[in-house]
Amino acid sequence: MGTFELQELMKPQLLHAASVHFPIVLALLGIPLLYVAAVSSTEKNTLLWMAFACYALLTVSGFLAARAGFQAAEHVPSNVAPDVSATLHRHEEMAEKVWMFGLGITILILLGFIKIKLFRVIIMILAMLGSIALGGWVATTAHFGGMLVYKYGVGTPSIAKQEKETHPPNIIQESPGTSPTNDALIPLREIDPKAAQEVSYKRDIKPLFERFCVDCHGNDSPKGGISLTSVASMKLSGRKSGPGIVPGKPDESSIVRYVRGELLPRMPKGGPALSENDLHVIRCWIFAGAIDDTVSSPSSPEIGNPVGTSEGKK
Ligand code: HEC
């Protein structure tokens, strides 16, 4: 049983650890390759093809490594220290963009095959600048990833043990498709109607969603078919689970149910769960009618934050 558990935990981590070296190596290899391809004769395109293959592979492997990473991140306990979860979030945010970056350079290289002198020169300069920027980007991403593993022990048996100690039943319970994946539901706190009135969308809610949700739930092709950029868009239904917010009824609002872990995958997907306090603030705001105060902002003086969000903490 013990070894089985460990295997289950290690799997996505191992996959990520193995796959993540491809984009790193390719991003570094691509820089000199592209340079040589750019300065060599325009007649022979072999080098340009090699550069193309390099960045195409980088795009694919970057995408796969990030996916394995997001899966691995679901096994990271949600109660890790704030600096660990901030590093994880940063690492994920950056890693997610590597493949897009790679794709951009791949497309530039393809355009480089077009033999119009000046156009080609400009394209190759852009591709080279892009490749250097991507090299730096990947190195920084890898640095955060390295910190997670070697400094904080994320993805190693030590952190798995940590989770076991804090939530004894959950790891063993884990079975595909059924109960919540990484941990228990975020507990609900009782809403004080008066305090709930004090929550401001503009001050408390919008920054929270911008920080944790809008990367995936922005305006163009939002995940799950729901954009979290405005109160109006959150009142619309997502792909599967009805309206994001039902004013007055926090616990029927899909946003609350996903954040809480009642509906899966827990949001923010792949990242650490929101704090009990953040969830409470969201619920209070919905309870009080999900008022949008971005348009006609109330003239009440800033009394500080009555319920408190984690916004201030970093
Ligand atoms: C890393 C990307 C990502 C982040 C960050 C993220 N989500 Fe999601 N979200 C998804 C994906 C993917 C789905 C679709 C999941 C599915 O249905 O399998 C989804 C679905 C949803 C849905 C369900 C829509 C429906 O009806 O189908 C809600 C509600 C939601 N997310 C809310 C949030 C909230 C609130 C946050 C921030 C606290 C957040 N998400 C952060 C990726 C993300």
Is residue 153 helix, strand or coil? Answer: coil
CA of 292 from ligand 1 middle (Å) equals 21
Contacts made by residues 154-158, CB under 8 angstroms, sequence distance 24+: 154/76, 154/80, 154/84, 154/88, 155/10, 155/13, 155/16, 155/17, 155/72, 155/75, 155/76, 156/13, 157/6, 157/9, 157/10
Q: Where do the structural domains in the chain lie, given as residue ranges?
A: 2-161, 185-296+304-313
Q: Is 267 in the pocket of ligand 1 (CB under 6 A)?
A: yes
- Per residue in 206-234, pLDDT (tens digit) is 999 999 999 999 998 899 899 999 999 99
Mutational test site, ligand 1, from 246, 258, 260, max ligand atoms within 8 Å of CB:
258
Q: Using CA atoms, how far apart are residues 276 and 211, in angstroms rounded to an integer? A: 16
Structure confidence at residue 2 (pLDDT): 46
- Among protein residues, the one with the nearest Cα to ligand 1's atom 32 is 255
Report how far Cα 110 is from the mean position of its chain's Cα atoms.
29
Q: Using CA atoms, how far apart are residues 128 and 35, in angstroms rounded to an integer? A: 7
- pLDDT bin (cut points 50, 70, 90) of residue 283 is very high
Q: Is 69 in the pocket of ligand 1 (CB under 6 A)?
A: no
- pLDDT bin (cut points 50, 70, 90) of residue 6 is low
- pLDDT bin (cut points 50, 70, 90) of residue 42 is low
- Per residue in 50-67, pLDDT (tens digit) is 999 999 999 999 999 998
Question: Before 32, cis peptide (omega within 30)?
Answer: no
Q: Using CA atoms, how far apart are residues 102 and 106, in angstroms rounded to an integer? A: 6
- Among protein residues, the one with the nearest Cα to ligand 1's atom 23 is 224
- pLDDT bin (cut points 50, 70, 90) of residue 1 is very low
Q: What is the position in ligand 1's atom list of the atom closest to the CA of 96? A: 1
Average pLDDT over residues 95-124: 92
Burial state string for 191-210 with b = 16 or more CB within 10 A and e = fewer than 16 = beeeebebbbbebbbbebbe
